[in-house]
């Protein structure tokens, strides 16, 4: 199967040696994505804003591989504050309510920056 790596343009991707998204055959996975903007600042002051920003970034990336939100079958959400789960789910539902992919949300102790509340991974498969 053919492999295609996709970059979000984050400087660490090249420095460390990772891709934001990888497509192998019909399978697509987007690695952990936070609400860091191109200028290095964190977007959003709460879990809702950050979740929405991350999912928008990820869906734009999927579109580069001719995939859409309807092709997503699994979403992993990591949060530093599970008490914000309702707000995270509110933003998530704006994208996936009718699609209903698998969903896992877990609380973790921290992310790279203290103002980050959410990191999201997702998996999709090209419709044949």
* Predicted pLDDT of residue 39: 84
% of the chain with per-residue pLDDT over 70: 99
Q: What is the arithmetic mean of pLDDT over 103-115?
A: 96
Q: Cβ distance 107 to 61 under 8 Å?
A: no
pLDDT higher than 90, residue 12 = no
Where along the chain do its domains lie? 3-125
Spatial separation of the C-alpha atoms in residues 15 and 116, rounded to whole Å: 22
C-alpha–C-alpha distance, residues 52 and 93, integer Å = 10
> How confident is the model at residue 38, as a pLDDT?
82
* CATH code matching the domain that covers 3-125, chosen among 3.30.1330.40, 1.10.1760.20, 3.40.640.10, 3.90.15.10: 3.30.1330.40
**CA-CA distances (angstroms) from residue 59 to 53, 68, 69, 82, 98?**
10, 7, 6, 24, 16
* Residue 2: predicted pLDDT: 93
Mean pLDDT to the nearest integer, 1-16: 86
Q: What is the pTM of this model?
A: 0.94
Asked if 6 and 66 count as a contact pair (C-beta separation under 8 A), the reply is: no
pLDDT at 128: 66
Considering only residues 76 and 41, tell me which one the structure prediction assigns the higher pLDDT. 76
Paired with 29 in beta bridges are 22, 123
Mean pLDDT of the chain: 94
pLDDT above 90 for 15: no
pLDDT in tens, 21-66: 999 999 999 999 999 988 889 999 999 999 999 999 999 999 999 9
For residues 101 and 84, is the Cβ–Cβ distance under 8 A? Answer: no
């Amino acid at each position: 199967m053919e492999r295609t790596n996709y970059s979000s343009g984050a400087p660490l991707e090249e420095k460390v040696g990772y891709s934001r998204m990888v497509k192998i055959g019909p399978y697509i996975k987007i690695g952990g994505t936070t609400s860091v903007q191109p200028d290095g600042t964190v977007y959003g002051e709460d879990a809702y804003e950050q979740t929405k920003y991350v999912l928008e970034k990820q869906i734009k990336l999927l579109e580069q591989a001719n995939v859409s939100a309807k092709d997503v079958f699994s979403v992993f959400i990591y949060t530093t504050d599970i008490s914000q789960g309702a707000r995270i789910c509110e933003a998530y539902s704006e994208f996936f309510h009718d699609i209903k992919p698998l969903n896992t949300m877990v609380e973790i102790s921290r992310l790279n920056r203290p103002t980050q509340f959410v990191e999201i991974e997702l998996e999709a498969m090209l419709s044949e």
